[in-house]
Amino acid sequence: MKCITCENWSFFIICKSCQKNLLAPSLFRRQLDKDFNVYSFYSFEELETLLPSKYYFHGDKVFNILAKLSFAQFAKQFSYTQEVLALGVDDHTRHDFSHTAILSKHLRCEFIKPKFNKLRPTRIVKYAGKDLEFRQKNPRKFKLQDVHNQAVILVDDIVTTGTTLLEAKKVCEKQGNEVLFALTLADAKL
């Protein structure tokens, strides 16, 4: 097959050379609320051509590579005083896989335990290309199942305005959970 970034022949959908030279992650921080930070590994521009793969059959391969380069490396360096749950924001399956479940899976380590199908919207709203006003008027109304009094990391693919993560944080906190921070692949404001 050909690498989707450089179009050279490769055994991987993104060749090892592109993984090393084009997709080396950095860690960026954005403060969404007083004590709530979102850490992202890439700017939106760095992943602009790769993020839409979540809508296609090959997206699971792309997201697994991105997660290995970023989320898995983060997990290797993370430590905490207790077990922390990783909750994918809206990790239900679309297009035969869940991109947020893939990202969460790669956080598994001694201190982080991914939990799947726990934080789900009761309303399906497409935010892609929508402004802050639309997002605020059309909340996803998340429901959290069977997670109480835990330390939590929220996981999503991209942070744009932050409304989705702030809404998810409030739902988690209503059930006594402490949301430590959120992790995303990309930040649209970088």
The DSSP-derived string for 159-188 is ESSSHHHHHHHHHHHHTT-EEEEEEEEEET
Q: Please provide the average confidence, as pLDDT, over all residues in the chain.
A: 92
Indicate whether 46 pLDDT > 90: yes
Stretch 85-104: mean pLDDT, rounded? Answer: 85
Q: State the Cα–Cα distance between residues 178 and 82, nearest whole angstrom.
A: 12
- Split at pLDDT 50, 70, 90, the class of 95 is low
The reported pLDDT for the residue numbered 152 is 98
Report the Cα 100 to chain-centroid distance in Å.
5
Are residues 9 and 2 in contact, defined by beta-carbon separation less than 8 angstroms?
yes
| Helix then strand then coil, % of the chain, to nearest 5 | 30, 25, 40
Indicate whether 83 pLDDT > 90: yes
CATH of domain 25-187: 3.40.50
Are residues 168 and 142 in contact, defined by beta-carbon separation less than 8 angstroms?
yes
Q: Which of 190, 186, 178, 189 is nearest to 87 (CA)?
A: 178
Rg (CA), the chain: 16
Indicate whether 109 pLDDT > 90: yes
Are residues 51 and 186 in contact, defined by beta-carbon separation less than 8 angstroms?
yes
The reported pLDDT for the residue numbered 48 is 94
Indicate whether 78 pLDDT > 90: yes
Q: Which of 151, 56, 52, 40 is nearest to 96 (CA)?
A: 56
The reported pLDDT for the residue numbered 94 is 63
The reported pLDDT for the residue numbered 93 is 66
For the stretch 133-190, pLDDT in tens is 887 888 888 999 999 999 999 999 999 999 999 999 999 999 999 999 999 999 999 8
Share of the chain above pLDDT 90, in %: 77
Indicate whether 122 pLDDT > 90: no
Dihedral of alpha carbons 97, 39, 144, 171, sign:
negative
Is 87 exposed, middle or buried, given 0-12, 13-18 or 19+ CB atoms closer than 10 A?
A: buried
